[in-house]
Amino acid sequence: MCGRFSLTAPLEEIIEFFNIVNGDGLDYEISYNIAPSQNVLSIVSDGVNNKGGFLRWGLVPSWADNPSIGYKMINARSETIDEKASFKTLLKRRRCLIVADGFYEWKRDDQGNKRPFRMVHKNNHFFAFAGLWDRWEKEGTVLHTCTIITTQPNEIMKDIHDRMPVILPDEAQKIWLDRNIQDTNQLKLLLTPYAAEEMIAYEVSPLVNSPKNNQVECIQSLA
């Protein structure tokens, strides 16, 4: 799964890399410890341009009776994404990128303790997670929410956890955001483990265990 990540890159670099047309209007703050139910910087296409905005992490499908379902839907499994009622329509019509520069996972050691690790790009570049989003409205309340798609672990991850978020390379990002593409088989081919040789993993402080802690120490290596 993916239950925590970070985004500390300068907004100007994110805007330039993803060609975001409305970047000047984004109320962006860096975060060392992003958790479910928080707003996350996301990118969608309007058919012509890439637009940035914030989606609440934890998908609330448009048909849901209660928005609390979002706490159970922070991730979507790539293997069954075209089968689940919550996701299959969104896979065709409501895809997004979720921007991060690292993500956390917890490894259980021989004593049963869970030790947090942070995974980053080897060049400290930011990532684009594959995501789905939806709009929910009831009694005047409107929510725009998202989920992060997960897949099998690569060689870096498999010793830490049995799942990892789908990280889309540059060309795959363009396909994922292209609203004209609705072939689910073509889209699922993009949902593969990121190249292990492009990533590094390192142990971090248990500070990251609590989303109340949001300081630079969360991303620093213990080594």
Catalytic residue among 2, 96, 146, 218: 2
**Other C-beta atoms lying within 10 Å of the C-beta of residue 11:** 19
- Tokens representing 43 are 């990118």
In angstroms, how far apart are the furthest CA atoms of the chain? 53
Active site residue 2: yes
Whole-angstrom CA distances from 14 to 9, 26, 134, 175 are 7, 11, 23, 19
C-alpha span between 29 and 182 (Å, rounded): 33
Active site residue 105: yes
Catalytic residue among 12, 16, 79, 105: 105
Where are the extended beta strands (E) located within 3-113?
5-7, 31-34, 39-45, 50-57, 75-77, 95-100, 102-108
Q: How many helices (H) and strands (E) does the chain have?
A: 4, 12
C-alpha span between 65 and 86 (Å, rounded): 13
Contact predicate 208/198, CB 8 Å: no
Catalytic sites, residue numbers = 2, 105
